[in-house]
Amino acid sequence: MKISSKVEDSAWEDLKSLARESKQSISGLLTEAIREYVIRRRVRPEVLRHLDSSIAENEELGRRLAE
């Protein structure tokens, strides 16, 4: 997929340097970076369920700590 975006000049130069050093394409590096970012930022549904459950089980403790 072709995309268009704006990037700070220094970040773009760093990316071009990394591409040269690692003998990879800029496109390949961007794809890898996007995948890693999404994985780090995405919270799995089961984690959210456990969090909700823990909050509910410890509601009184939460109230006391908030005081």
Q: For 11-33, what is each residue's pLDDT tens digit?
A: 999 999 999 999 999 999 999 99
Report the domain count for the chain: 1
The per-residue pLDDT for 37 is 92
Q: For 41-61, what is each residue's pLDDT tens digit?
A: 887 888 888 888 999 999 999
Longest Cα pair distance anywhere in the chain, in angstroms?
57
Q: How far is residue 11's CA from residue 6's CA, in Å, rounded to a whole number?
A: 10
In a domain, 47, yes or no: yes
Q: Residue 43: which domain range?
A: 9-66
pTM value?
0.60
In a domain, 3, yes or no: no
